[in-house]
Amino acid sequence: MSASITDPRLDGQALSRIVYDADQIARRVRQLGADLTAAYPEGELLVLGLLKGSFIFLGDLVRQIARPLQVDFLVAASYGDAKTSSGDVRLVYDAGTKLEGKHILLVEDIVDSGRTLTRMMDLLSQRRPRSVEICALLHKRVAAHLSYPVRFVGFEAPNEFLVGYGLDHAEDFRHLPYIASLQ
């Protein structure tokens, strides 16, 4: 089934296939929420989203975590309008919340090259958190530059350019309720 034929939200743009549909995503996010609730039974938890790609996933995820928590964001840039990372990771917006002594859960949309996550984890580790872990919606398992384990993973991702559910190409497709492969 071609999403471009049946989805008016695409405005004629072509997607090759739906990789994970909305129901699959919702079920997995509920399970991740339960896993995170169990993994953090005590202490202050700060769920820190990497914008912009993580915002939909993070919003759904925090509503599934059955414990007190705080939410803040970081913005890092490395893609621009390209389909591959430039390799130059810049911190554009830093979290305003105090990180020291808290459990930090860094939420990312997709683990690809690993450069952005490594840069952000290095930065967060310097701020003396109680712990710092990564939760990614998607993991391509091709991250040659990732120096930290991804403890919580939603789905394995094919080595394709994926869009939807927060993931974009040049700011398009974020609003789609599913994850699809861009032609």
Residues that are catalytic: 112
What's the rounded Cα separation, in Å, for the pair 180 and 7? 12
Q: Which amino acid is at 1?
A: M
Q: Which two tokens stand for residue 171?
A: 């700011």
Please give the structure tokens belonging to residue 5.
């034929």
Distances in whole angstroms, Cα of residue 67 to Cα of each of 25, 100, 139: 21, 19, 26
Can you tell me whether residue 115 is helix, strand or coil? helix
Phi then psi for 182, rounded to 5 degrees?
A: -80, 135
SS (H, E, C) 3-66: HHHHCHHHCCCCEEEEEECHHHHHHHHHHHHHHHHHHCCCCCEEEEEEECCCHHHHHHHHCCCC
Strand partners, 48: 72, 106
